[in-house]
């Protein structure tokens, strides 16, 4: 619930909230490079999803390059990388920094390492998560997720579609490198003439690494801070009692001290100015969703039923998996606040309602 207006103030008295500012309205062509700051180049690669692209960042690093994120493992992205590597073969790829384990970020790390001998750098928890998921040839994790969604009321047809998909993660990444250089929160990484500070976020992924360069005034935000959408915050079947939304919202505090003039380079969407405004918008977005869920739970409901409160559009089978995770993470947040309680009924289906 939003705070009431101060006494004597009308809803038209407050100045309008300024919009985010986008320096470039047109992204580079797929596989092309566009310089956005001194020695910082924007590359856009395709994705075979509704979210149809990922932004990668190539940093001048002395006689070579450091790459931030890799793109998904498929024929199209490999072809674009072959062209890029051939075009810039005088400057080798020395290092790959991966923000987190998701396949559009880690996907081609192993393949690029084999092609270039570049060293992988990422946080330990992200490398471990990606490696474990890749090694899950028996679909153990996806089976656990299906069982979690069944307990929370997802329809059998949706569950069957998820089960048929199996471990999709393994199909979207190359074999991860078996060795890597671990990075950690507040670590300084020297890339060419500049120093980049690691800022670790949580919630969307276990130890999502963002990179801030103070002298360039640039933040590579990965998926942690996006300009037009918010990252998926899902409850994982491997941690059913966790509170990932609280982890995410708390970790946004790590960015509140950065200057408003910071150029934010996100993984999806366009680079933008207006970091502090965007942090406020993200918090408000989740606050509104939480209040809508709380209000809907005057009567007992399942997490599956709550998807329609959070998402006002038709969802395909792929999108439902993310929507269920989001519904569960928001309900878990309210439960940890002791605003909702939950209990499994006779068929083992969990319902949530207001109160203790």
- Pair of tokens at residue 214: 């103070």
Within-domain flag for 15: no
Beta bridge partners of 201: 208
Is the distance from CB of 238 to CB of 125 less than 8 angstroms? no
Name residue, tokens 């329809």.
Answer: 155
Predicted pLDDT at 179:
95
Within-domain flag for 152: yes
Q: How far apart are CA 233 and CA 238, in angstroms?
A: 14
Q: What total number of domains does the chain contain?
A: 1
Within-domain flag for 17: no
**CA triplet 17, 23, 29: central angle to 5 degrees?**
130
Within-domain flag for 310: no
Within-domain flag for 319: no
The residues, any chain, with a CB within 8 Å of residue 144's CB and separated by 6 or more, are: 237, 238
Q: How far apart are CA 212 and CA 186, in angstroms?
A: 10
Predicted pLDDT at 124:
98
- Pair of tokens at residue 143: 């089976």
Question: Any idea what the CATH number is for the domain that residue 54 is in?
Answer: 3.60.15.10
3-state SS of 138-193? CCHHHHHHHHHHHHCCCCHHHHHHHHHHCCHHHHHCCCCCCCCEEECCCCEEEECC
Q: What is the DSSP string of 26-80?
A: SPPPTT-EEEEETTEEEEEEE-SSSS-EEEEEEEEETTEEEEE----SSHHHHHH
Within-domain flag for 202: yes
Residue 186: domain span: 33-290
pTM of the model: 0.93
Within-domain flag for 63: yes
Per-residue pLDDT of the chain (356 residues; tens, 9 = 90+): 233 222 222 333 344 556 999 999 899 999 899 999 999 999 999 999 989 999 999 999 999 999 999 999 999 999 999 999 998 878 999 999 999 999 999 999 999 999 999 999 999 999 999 999 999 887 788 889 999 999 999 999 999 887 777 788 999 999 999 999 999 999 999 999 999 999 999 999 999 999 999 999 999 999 999 999 999 999 999 999 999 999 999 999 999 999 989 999 999 999 999 999 999 999 999 999 999 999 999 999 999 999 999 998 889 888 999 999 999 999 999 999 999 999 998 789 999 999 87
Q: How far apart are CA 47 and CA 69, in angstroms?
A: 13
Within-domain flag for 90: yes
Q: What is the DSSP letter of 283?
A: H
């Amino acid at each position: 619930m939003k705070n009431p207006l101060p006494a004597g103030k009308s809803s038209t008295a407050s100045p309008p909230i300024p919009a985010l500012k986008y320096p470039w309205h047109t992204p580079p062509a797929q596989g092309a490079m566009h310089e956005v700051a001194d020695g910082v180049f924007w590359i856009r690669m395709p994705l075979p999803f509704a979210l149809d692209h990922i932004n990668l960042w190539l940093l001048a690093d002395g006689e070579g390059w450091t790459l931030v994120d890799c793109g998904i493992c498929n024929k199209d992205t490999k072809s674009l990388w072959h062209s890029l590597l051939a075009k810039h073969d005088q400057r080798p790829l020395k290092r790959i920094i991966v923000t987190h384990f998701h396949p559009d970020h880690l996907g081609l790390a192993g393949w690029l390492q084999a092609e270039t001998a570049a060293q992988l750098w990422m946080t330990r928890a992200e490398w471990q998560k990606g490696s474990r998921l890749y090694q899950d040839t028996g679909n153990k994790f996806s089976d656990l997720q299906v069982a979690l969604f069944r307990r929370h009321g997802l329809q059998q047809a949706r569950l069957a579609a998820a089960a048929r998909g199996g471990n999709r993660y393994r199909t979207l990444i190359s074999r991860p490198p078996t060795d890597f250089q671990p990075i950690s929160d507040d670590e300084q990484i020297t890339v060419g003439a500049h120093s980049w500070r690691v800022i670790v976020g949580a919630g969307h992924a276990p130890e999502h690494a963002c990179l801030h360069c103070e002298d360039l005034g640039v933040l590579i935000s990965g998926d942690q801070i996006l300009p037009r959408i918010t990252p998926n915050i899902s409850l994982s079947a491997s941690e059913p009692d966790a509170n990932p939304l609280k982890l995410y919202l708390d970790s946004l505090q790590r960015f509140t001290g950065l200057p408003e003039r910071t150029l934010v380079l996100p993984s999806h969407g366009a680079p933008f100015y207006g970091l502090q405004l965007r942090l406020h918008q993200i918090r408000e977005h989740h606050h509104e969703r939480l209040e809508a869920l709380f209000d809907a739970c005057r009567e007992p409901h399942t997490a599956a039923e709550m998807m329609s409160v959070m998402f006002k559009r038709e969802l395909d089978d792929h999108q439902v998996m993310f929507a269920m995770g989001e519904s569960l993470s928001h309900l878990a947040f309210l439960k940890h606040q002791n605003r909702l309680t939950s209990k499994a009924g006779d068929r083992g289906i969990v319902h949530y309602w207001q109160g203790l």
